[in-house]
Amino acid sequence: MSDVTTVKPKKKAGKIIRRILGGILAVIAALAVMVLIVAVKNTKAMNKAVDEAMAVISERCTVTEEDCGEYSKMTIYGIMKFDVKKYDVEGVGNLSVMKMNAGAMQMISLILNPQEKNMPLVSADFMYILTKRKAYYELYDLTDTKDKDYEAILDAFRNISGQYDSLEDTSSTPAWFDDLRNATMYKVGKSGDDEALSEMLCDGLEAVLDASADLPALTPEQQKTKNEITKDYTDGLISKGGISTDMFKASLGEEVTRDFFSKVLFGTGKMD
Domain housing 117: 45-271
Count other Cβ atoms within 10 Å, centred on residue 269.
Answer: 15
- Kindly give the confidence (pLDDT) of every residue in the chain, 272 residues in length, as a single tens digit, with 9 standing for 90 and above: 445 455 566 666 677 777 776 777 666 665 555 666 878 899 999 999 999 999 999 999 999 999 999 999 999 988 999 999 999 999 999 999 999 999 889 999 999 999 999 999 999 999 999 999 999 999 999 999 999 999 999 999 999 988 999 999 999 999 999 999 999 999 999 999 999 999 999 999 999 999 999 999 999 999 999 999 999 999 999 999 998 999 999 999 999 999 999 999 999 998 77
Q: What is the largest CA-CA distance in the chain?
A: 100
Per the structure, how many domains does the chain have?
1
pLDDT at 67: 97
41 neighbors 34 (Cβ within 8 angstroms): no
Angle at the Cα of 145 from the Cα atoms of 93 and 232, rounded to 5 degrees: 60
Is there a domain that residue 12 lies in?
A: no
- Return the H-helix or E-strand segment holding 125: strand 121-129
160 neighbors 200 (Cβ within 8 angstroms): yes
- C-alpha to C-alpha distance for 261 and 269, rounded to whole angstroms: 9
pLDDT at 271: 77
139 neighbors 182 (Cβ within 8 angstroms): yes
- CATH assignment at residue 68: 3.40.1500.20
Which is nearest to 99 in space by CA: 38, 33, 53? 53
pLDDT in tens, 162-212: 899 999 999 999 999 999 999 999 999 999 999 999 999 999 999 999 999
pLDDT at 1: 46
Q: How many CA atoms lie within 13 A of 128 on its CB side?
A: 29
Q: Residues with Cβ < 8 Å from 102, sequence gap 6 or more?
A: 79, 80, 81
Is there a domain that residue 238 lies in?
A: yes
* Four-CA torsion 142, 143, 147, 152, nearest 10 degrees: -30
222 neighbors 72 (Cβ within 8 angstroms): no
Is there a domain that residue 261 lies in?
A: yes
> pTM for this structure?
0.88
Instruction: Return the bridge partners of 172, or none.
Output: none
- C-alpha to C-alpha distance for 134 and 200, rounded to whole angstroms: 12
pLDDT at 15: 72
Is there a domain that residue 38 lies in?
A: no
- C-alpha to C-alpha distance for 216 and 208, rounded to whole angstroms: 15
Count other Cβ atoms within 10 Å, centred on residue 173.
Answer: 8
Is there a domain that residue 35 lies in?
A: no
Q: DSSP H helical segments within 175-242, as ranges?
A: 194-211, 220-240
Count other Cβ atoms within 10 Å, centred on residue 12.
Answer: 10
Is there a domain that residue 198 lies in?
A: yes
- C-alpha to C-alpha distance for 139 and 121, rounded to whole angstroms: 5
Is there a domain that residue 37 lies in?
A: no
